[in-house]
Amino acid sequence: ETGVTQSPTHLIKTRGQQVTLRCSSQSGHNTVSWYQQALGQGPQFIFQYYREEENGRGNFPPRFSGLQFPNYSSELNVNALELDDSALYLCASSFSRGGAGELFFGEGSRLTVL
């Protein structure tokens, strides 16, 4: 167990709705990254937050947004949900924003969009 917790574990939404996913970082970690893992695929980087600011973003549209709070927990928000947004969303925390240090992943939030 990594100490990274995500909620909810499963949820179902309909197309066009909005969703918020939450992540609690491992104690002492100041960096949070979010990844999208579609069925049968590897995770894809969405963005990274360091000290409450976004400091890296993958190839995802602006309707994917995030927040990091002073206690380093984080939220991922997705607006105007599309069917292709159905995936496992993984949160990962780390001690630093760059380098080769280990990322600690949570178990993910599985989103189904109908």
Partner 1 sequence: AQSVTQPDIHITVSEGASLELRCNYSYGATPYLFWYVQSPGQGLQLLLKYFSGDTLVQGIKGFEAEFKRSQSSFNLRKPSVHWSDAAEYFCAVGPTSGSARQLTFGSGTQLTVLP
Residue 2 touching partner 1 (CB under 8 A): yes
Residue 86 touching partner 1 (CB under 8 A): no
Residue among 24, 25, 26, 33 that touches partner 1 (CB under 8 A):
33
Cα–Cα distance for residue pair 63/30, rounded to 1 Å: 24
CB of 45 to partner 1, least distance (A): 5
**How many Cβ atoms are within 10 Å of 25's Cβ, its own excluded?**
26
Residue 24 touching partner 1 (CB under 8 A): no
Which residues in the 59-78 window bind partner 1 by CB under 8 A?
none
User: Which amino acid is it at 24?
Assistant: S
Residues that bind partner 1 (CB under 8 A): 2, 4, 31, 33, 35, 40-45, 48, 50, 55-56, 58, 90, 92, 94, 97-103, 105-108
